[in-house]
Structure 1
Amino acid sequence: MRPRSLPLIAVVLLLALAAVAAVPVADARAPPTPVCGVCSVDTTVDGAAVAAGESELTVSIHENGTTAWEARVELTAGSDVLAENGSLRRAVVDEAMGRSIADPEQVRSQMGGEALIVRYRDDGATERHVGAVVFTPLTPEGPSSPFAIGGEGPRYLGTDRFTLRAPAGYDLHGDAESTDSGTIVWTRENGSERTSLDVATDPVAVESDSGAPGVRTWFARLLT
């Protein structure tokens, strides 16, 4: 091959690479996931309609890393049926829990007037590092291999109000509104069914009287 043909080949290769780069890549991530699946329940089971109205989710982080979740959902339809039929209520709750960021354990449900109240635990929702507790479900995991596509989907609220609470004696460090040092609150925007959570870093609970809380928070996130 003559040397003067090399620049032409290089140009062709560059054009080919540019064409590949210009092709849009399909988003292979999982679908968006609500923080609270049961908070937006809307289903029909055995001919009975069940629909959610206003709702709230509270997650309490414990010092040992376990978490307790409580969802309270005011129903606009189906409250009488769920109060009378425990099996039906459990079926509705179990189906809705499959759409949550939590890995629920010890799920319990009951009716309080028109409200469906669901309590559960998720003992895998945190990691402990450098004396801090990191709450991890709010930031989706990406692919484990370099150059791979896919991973967990983005998070959205799926509830009117989501409150995250640190253990007693801890401050909670995160990038959302705080009502006090130990609490972070997210609220639905303008009635949107899918208000994006838009959390870039994991919330971290650090003992209030610990030294260098900012450094501990940074290292805890780094090690997660």
Structure 2
Amino acid sequence: MNRPLWFALLCATLLATSLVAPVADARPPPRPLCDGCGDSFAETAADRGVDLSVEESTATVRVHENGSATWVVRNRVADAEAATRLRANATLRETIADRAMWDTELLSTTVSEDGVLTARYREPEFAERSAGGTLRSGAFTESYGYRNLDGLGADELVVVAPDGMRVGWTVPGSTVSEDGRRMTLTEFTDADEGDFVTFVPEDSAFGAVLSPLAVTEKLGPVAALNLGVFVGLPTAFFATLVAGIAGAVSWLSTRSGHFERVENYAGTGLLTVGVLAAAYPLLSITVFRMGGFDAPMFGIGVGLAAIGIGLSVGDVREHATFRTVLVGAAVATCLAAAAAIGGAALFDASGVTTALLSSLPFVVPAFALLPAGYAIGRGDRKLGVATATLAFALPVLSWSPLTTPVAGMSLLLVLFTGVYAVALAVLGAPLLLVGASLARDRKDGGGPPSDPRDGTAPS
């Protein structure tokens, strides 16, 4: 087997893995859930030339039947001079209050004698109608509310259900009143996609199922679209590429001389490339540093070396079946992942990071090309293409933003996944050849054609 080709495969796998890592889209400045409360309000006031501090801040959000909401925000201003200035200058306090709450309509402002600035706002689309008369609010999520929520803002925030309704699904960490009409938050640290707040009719016989139905109604179409765009399209593209390469491999299998060279040197070649890749991060002085690629390269090297050792044993090659090759590829994948995690602790100053862990599934399709090639070599092209395609789809599925609406970045994300598919299919062809070479003797041995899945003659 050509060693430069194997090294190119290794580098391309690492490069493609880095390309399809989750792309951080541009986010607006961080802001609290109630940006007209507390420190956020004080910062807005400072921008308008009023220096003040807020001792206590509360907000009450009263939801209406049409999905709109009225916010009543109360900030207790600690500075008497600032409170007096705001009380005397209605235009100034309205300007500050209006700028503080971005997506609402300012209704009124007042400042009491004890320094409490009260601002009333109207938010026309706090919630939306859903199944069975339910109201669903995405204000507490980053995917369907503000994209960069940072804390609660207020010391206490109370959400009041519309008349005739009660709170259904709530935000984790909140408390609900005994009558079910008020949800209270004193802190807010997460903004997960599933943190919808729902309001269901008090007299509904199906109240327990209305909230999940309402959330599914919102997330279902988004998930279906994202599956098709981010998983379906790249996977179909990859399957087409593998099917084309499978045809070339099938043609090459008729030329036994070529396959003999692959079979004879596959184990040694894989072992050599694997050892070199695993040894690279261990060198104290290198000519070319790859930074964050050290741990993944070490892991992939260990996996390739393990396969090379196995294929160097004659009995392993002679008794290979689709199942044994599949198990061997799975073991090599697990070894590669474990070695990459261990290597991160040795070679990377950042240690085991979320980025590393999220990239590990993308090495699965590379090792899956070995059993895929075996099936192709046995004449079952459908099984081979299906094996490679399934292995490709699983990590892409784990990475795809299934329930997050992604508009502007969609084309770029699909493009990156397409680059990964091309690199994996084209430069992974040698592994398909190695797998097909393991099946050559069983296919050409003169006996009846065997079942590519278990290496036995059909009954």
TM-score by length of 2: 0.41
Alignment partner of 1:96 is 2:119: no
The equivalences for 1:33-182 within 5 A come to: 33-40=31-38, 41-42=41-42, 43-44=45-46, 47-77=49-79, 78-98=82-102, 103-113=103-113, 114-130=115-131, 131-141=133-143, 152-173=147-168, 174-175=170-171, 176-180=174-178, 181-182=180-181
Moved more, 197-206 or 76-85: 197-206
Moved more, 5-14 or 209-218: 5-14
Paired amino acid for 1:95 = R
Paired amino acid for 1:168 = D
Using the alignment, how far apart are the partners of 1:197 and 1:7 within structure 2?
44
Paired amino acid for 1:218 = P
Structure 1: stretches of 5+ with no match in the other structure: 143-150, 189-194
Higher relative contact order (CA 8 A, sep 6+): 1
Using the alignment, how far apart are the partners of 1:186 and 1:137 within structure 2?
14
Using the alignment, how far apart are the partners of 1:80 and 1:220 within structure 2?
47
2:189 maps to what in 1? 196
1:155 to partner: Cα distance: 4.1
1:163 and 1:183 in contact (8 A); partners too: yes
Using the alignment, how far apart are the partners of 1:31 and 1:25 within structure 2?
18
- Whose strand proportion is higher, 1 or 2? 1
Q: Deviations over 1:83-139 (max 9, x none)?
A: 1111111122122223xxxx2124311112210000011111111011101122111
Does the C-alpha gap of structure 1 residues 45 and 85 become closer, same or farther in structure 2, counting only changes over 3 Å? farther
Using the alignment, how far apart are the partners of 2:111 and 2:36 within structure 1?
13
1:29 maps to what in 2? 27
Does the C-alpha gap of structure 1 residues 34 and 168 become closer, same or farther in structure 2, counting only changes over 3 Å? same
Using the alignment, how far apart are the partners of 1:35 and 1:59 within structure 2?
12
How many residues align structurally? 204
Using the alignment, how far apart are the partners of 2:48 and 2:151 within structure 1?
29
- Secondary structure of the corresponding residue to residue 52 of structure 2: strand
Please tell me whether Structure 1 or Structure 2 has the larger radius of gyration of its CA atoms: 2
1:192 maps to what in 2? none
Using the alignment, how far apart are the partners of 1:45 and 1:12 within structure 2?
51
Does the C-alpha gap of structure 1 residues 16 and 197 become closer, same or farther in structure 2, counting only changes over 3 Å? closer
Does the C-alpha gap of structure 1 residues 9 and 15 become closer, same or farther in structure 2, counting only changes over 3 Å? same
- Secondary structure of the corresponding residue to residue 107 of structure 1: strand
Taking only the aligned residue pairs, the percentage that are identical comes to 27
Using the alignment, how far apart are the partners of 1:52 and 1:156 within structure 2?
16
Q: Deviations over 1:33-61 (max 9, x none)?
A: 21222212223367542332201000011
Moved more, 160-169 or 34-43: 34-43
1:172 and 1:203 in contact (8 A); partners too: yes
What's the RMSD between the two structures over aligned residues?
Answer: 2.6
- Whose helix proportion is higher, 1 or 2? 2
